[in-house]
Amino acid sequence: MAGHSDNDLGLPEFYAPVKIALVIAPYYTKIAQQQIASATKVVESAGASVEVIEVPGSLEVPTAIAFAGAAFDGFVALGCVIRGRTSHYDVVVEQSAAGIMQLGLQGLCIGNGIITVENMEQAEERADATRLDTAGGAAQAALHLVALKRRFA
């Protein structure tokens, strides 16, 4: 499948409790439900606890992560942005990704699973845990960053 890595790192092992927040903009309910289910499954498979935090839109995801930064070991940024007829899509995609990246460079462990697509068909493919599973991949990324941060702490 396009977009899938052939390198499976598996899940890291933890010897101390891990708390992960799924920060989601549930604009498209069906997509959001699939993202939450997939990310939760991955996080719990690693023995970590999960809390879901809902925000109005993808632009608010980085702000919510910044507010909750000290309360969690890691974060999974979730949502779905589908291109419309205006440049608003570009602003939301670029600024949410930039905010998440900035927080990561400041030391927060964040897996970015915000789906950015042209249409609902692409969104459904990326949200489906049996297909591209963007949320599951983002949850794995967050867990690996938590493990890496603990290794170098």
Query: Which positions are annotated as active-site residues?
Result: 88
Q: What DSSP string runs through the chain?
A: -TT--S--------SS--EEEEEE--SSHHHHHHHHHHHHHHHHHTT-EEEEEE-SSGGGHHHHHHHHGGG-SEEEEEEEEE--SSTHHHHHHHHHHHHHHHHHHTT--EEEEEEEESSHHHHHHHH-TTTT-HHHHHHHHHHHHHHHHHHH-
CB 36 within 8 A of CB 42: no
